[in-house]
Chains A and B, each alone.
Chain A
Amino acid sequence: MAGEIDRIQDQHPKPDLTRREAMLQLLRVGGIAAGAAGVGYWLSEHSIRPVPARAEQARRDHRIAANAQDAQWPHLTVIQGGEPRALVQQALENLGGMRRFVGRQDVVVVKPNIAWDRTPEQAANTNPEIVAEVVRQCWQAGAKRVIVTDVSCNEPRRCFMRSGIQAAARAEGAEVILPDPELFREVDMGGVALKSWPVFTPFLEADKIINLPIAKHHGLVGATLGMKNWYGILGGQRNRLHQQIHQSLVDLASFMLPTFTLMDCYRILLRNGPTGGNLEDVLLKKTVVAGTDPVALDTWVAKAYWNLDPEHLPYLQMAANRGLGTVNFETLPVKVSQIG
């Protein structure tokens, strides 16, 4: 190989460089050297031990501002005996109408429970008609965007389809967002048990958040109600939360304060929750419980369907102690309506 190069050079003897060429070559080499030095310096300046991105710290308070007319509305309302859409309509009417909660140009995130690959009849996810009616009313109240989303436990495509929520919410014009691993942000939740956790971004960018849980049996807690629905805003390894479940529930509830909560009790999963599956475990109650006091709401439903007192559900008193509401729903103005 080397011999070949020699031969080529012999054929074309190279004249000496002119001064001009030499200067240009020096400039080129000098430029590259200076560039390399600059990049090296810049890189070495940036060479710090990698640390996770700083978690943003922000409690998400979506409650509506206190208002002089608040006194005329109940903190809790129970509607019984109707079909899902009628139940929602009556509940919102009792609470003062959707306009009381959702303003013009609001970005509203509706958070049903879409955790499991189950059909509406199996009562493991929020009833799709209830979700659809809430979406419709948000648009009527003038919302800018209405987003329906959840971070499922089972395979999300199947959960969103088979729960019927994706089709029902889209039919009312809502944006349905499936959990996407790239759309989580690390948030310092400032809790006792929950410190830094990845939270699904749509929940961090909402003006208003409406909690639409379904009341179900739960092996560890007894019942999974409104506050347990906030599990569905988290990513990460949430299977660790069971280790301090009551503390986790309270941490979540004091991080994410919804505009209001509307609990689906149309069908109740009485046993083998929260997954269920067996129609024999489902009881048709045709009820919706809604209100602005999440603690009272969970307390009322736990007592009504599982006969669980606050002593059985320690998180209720812990949440009340944090000022999230009251366990004594008897002291609250509660409005019960029978329809149909």
Chain B
Amino acid sequence: MARSRLPLWRRISQIFFLLVFIALLIFTSLRPSSGGSGDIHLRAPVRLFFEWDPLIAVANAIASHALYRGLLWSLLILLPTMFLGRFFCGWICPMGTLQHFVGNMHSEAKRGKQRIDSNRYKRWQTVKYVVLIAGLIAAFFGSMAIGWLDPFSLLVRSIGLALLPAFNFAARAVLTPLEHSHIAAIKATGETLHTVLQATVLDFRQTHFAQGLVLGIVFLVILAASLRITRLWCRSICPLGALLGAVSRWSILGLHKDPATCDKCNRCLLNCQGGDDPIGGVPWRKSECLMCMNCVGSCPHDGLAFRFFRKEHEVATPDIGRRKALTGLAAGAVVVPLMRANTGLDKSRHDRLLRPPGALDETEFLSRCIRCGECMKVCPNNSLHPTLEQAGLEGLWTPTLVPRIGYCEPSCVLCSEVCPTGAIWQITPKEKGWVVGVGADSQPIRLGTAFYDRGRCLPWAEATECIVCEEWCPVSPKAIYVEDAEVVDSAGNTKTLKQPRVDPSRCVGCGACEYACPLQERPAVYVTSIGESRSPSSQILLNRK
């Protein structure tokens, strides 16, 4: 009975990869380490996991006619799938594992006959192929919108930008009262717990993300759906699962059913993950099977087995049909051109859409960005946030810098290092050029340009000394310069103070001035995207130094 051990091995594999994924995600952040004064790099960002994602690789190749950095590694998943089927979904994918776990929970909506019926193949399981086709056609038209639904992208975005910050809040809310306890033992326990958590799972500081609530709820709803139908997401929507399902048609490993022994007891359906009809009398559906191996051990007559090179009646290709395939083609072909017909990209770009340093020009950027939020997760200043409307509907959840919350740190390039698709092209601090590039031939990377609201600025409008913006301006010579001015205060006294101005030829748009401005809720100096170096059509000056 060596076979029945397979679900155990599968479980070990699932837990292992889930833990690796969570660990990589948690450590996709700047942690206080004993590093020296050199450039700061991350050793193991969660992008390593993305490099196994064939969907991102295929879509990236279609959209950009190239394969970014480590995405070639995804062949490690794609090629074995051609021989072994969707083992990735059942054995590796952390999104699948989480749903598998929730699906195993006791649920009133999934008992006895209902449960068996819920695990029979359903026509709506072909929706994911429509999603896949639409996503790949969208990629052809230059939009990586498929990143909204890619499972890794979904995981990083939801856990990194919503669940982990929520966990950080909850942990601190519990630990802080313990640490402030008057009872020595409780205080010591709290402090020890805090130290341990701080060294492992807690972030250095509490982060907040725009739309964190929405991202979290969407994710929890997807997981909760498994209480009703196991792995509803994997079966019906996941475009990566669809891709692997399509590729597995040539697989040489398959389910052998012994028709003689089957008495239709339905036991194999109780724990079926993919909804692929392991039961006798109907053909097995290869493209739906997740290789979870649950059916094999559940058959009381040992009538089920996975075998190589078996010859049996099966449904190898996705049961999609010409009409649905055309629906997918049409959806992808219509949606992107429609979104591009809108304003927001070529015409009337949002003035506050500040892309991270190294980001490609907007069309190139949208053809690569998969909205995974890894750049936002890693940013040590919590400066990057998912967009809502700033980048148009097409750009939903792409990153934008919000200087009021955090500015771009001059010698930091972590977002460009973690980007899995090169939407933010990898740059070095030297290439960024905000500090070390001074005097060099190369141009600095600019995110935008700062402007003053003289109706709010203290030295301009309120006869009050300030120029904190000038103090924080990180370039040298400073882009903010001051001029002595005589002003009259409300008492009629004349006084001399320094009024700030921006030299647009020096400003790199980092947003430090906006961040440091005391008028926090609407800073008197603010950065807009004009002059961003990635966009040749968005310049102010004839010559920028």
Q: Which one of A162, A167, A276 contacts B40 once the chains associate, using CB atoms below 8 Å?
A: A162
For B409, the chain A residues whose CB sits under 8 A away are: 117, 154-155, 158
A220, B498: Cβ atoms closer than 8 Å: yes
**Is A164 within 8 A of B465, CB to CB?**
no
| A119-178 contacts to B (CB < 8 Å) | 119-120, 122, 128, 153-158, 160-164, 166-167, 170, 178
The CA of A157 and the CA of B34, in the complex, are separated in Å by 10
CB neighbours of A157 from chain B (8 A): 30-32, 204, 380
Complex partner residue of B471 from A156, A163, A164, A275, CB under 8 angstroms: A275
Residues B205-231 near A (CB distance < 8 A) = 205-206
Do A239 and B33 contact each other (CB < 8 Å), given the known contacts A154-B409, A161-B40, A277-B410?
no
B35, B466, B474, B520: the one within 8 Å of A167 (CB): B35
A153 to B475, CA, bound (A): 15
User: In the complex, A272 Cα to B479 Cα: how many Å?
Assistant: 10
**Is A275 touching B473 in the complex (CB atoms < 8 A)?**
yes
Complex: how many Å from CA A219 to CA B500? 11
Chain B neighbourhood of A240, CB < 8 A: 518
Q: For residues 269 through 285 of chain A, which have their beta carbon under 8 Å from a beta carbon of chain B?
A: 271-272, 274-278, 280-281
Please name the residue on chain A nearest to B498 by beta carbon.
A220
Residues on A with C-beta less than 8 A from B412 are 117, 155, 158
Q: Judge whether A167 and B36 touch: CB under 8 Å.
A: yes
Q: B residues within 8 A CB of A170?
A: 34
- Contact of B505 with A by CB under 8 A: no
Contact with A along B463-495 (1 / 0, CB 8 A): 011111011111111100010000000000000
Given the known interface contacts A117-B410, A161-B40, A237-B518, the answer about A245 and B465 at a Cβ–Cβ threshold of 8 Å is: yes
> Interface readout for B371-404 with A: 1 if CB under 8 Å, 0 if not?
0000000001100000000000000000000000
Give Cα distance in the complex from A162 to B435, angstroms.
13
* Chain B residues, Cβ within 8 Å of A166: 32, 34-35
**Nearest chain B residue, comparing its CB with the CB of A276:** B476
Contacts A117-B411, A155-B380, A278-B477 known; A178 to B37 CB distance under 8 Å? no
B261 within 8 A of A: no
Q: Does B517 contact A (CB under 8 A)?
A: yes
Q: Decide if B40 touches A243 in the complex (CB within 8 Å).
A: no
* Nearest neighbor of B30 in chain A, beta-carbon distance: A157
The CA of A219 and the CA of B459, in the complex, are separated in Å by 14
Known contacts being A162-B37, A164-B37, is A275 close to B518, with CB within 8 Å? no
> Can you list 21 A-B contacts with CB-CB less than 8 angstroms, sorted by A residue number?
A119-B37, A153-B472, A154-B409, A158-B30, A158-B412, A161-B37, A162-B37, A163-B37, A181-B205, A219-B470, A219-B478, A219-B482, A220-B467, A239-B518, A242-B466, A271-B476, A275-B474, A275-B476, A276-B476, A277-B435, A281-B476
Interface residues of A (CB under 8 A from B): 117-120, 122, 128, 153-158, 160-164, 166-167, 170, 178, 181-182, 218-220, 237, 239-240, 242-245, 271-272, 274-278, 280-281
**Assuming A219-B478, A272-B476, A277-B475, what are 11 further A-B pairs, CB within 8 angstroms?**
A157-B31, A158-B30, A163-B37, A170-B34, A219-B471, A219-B498, A220-B465, A220-B471, A239-B516, A271-B477, A272-B478
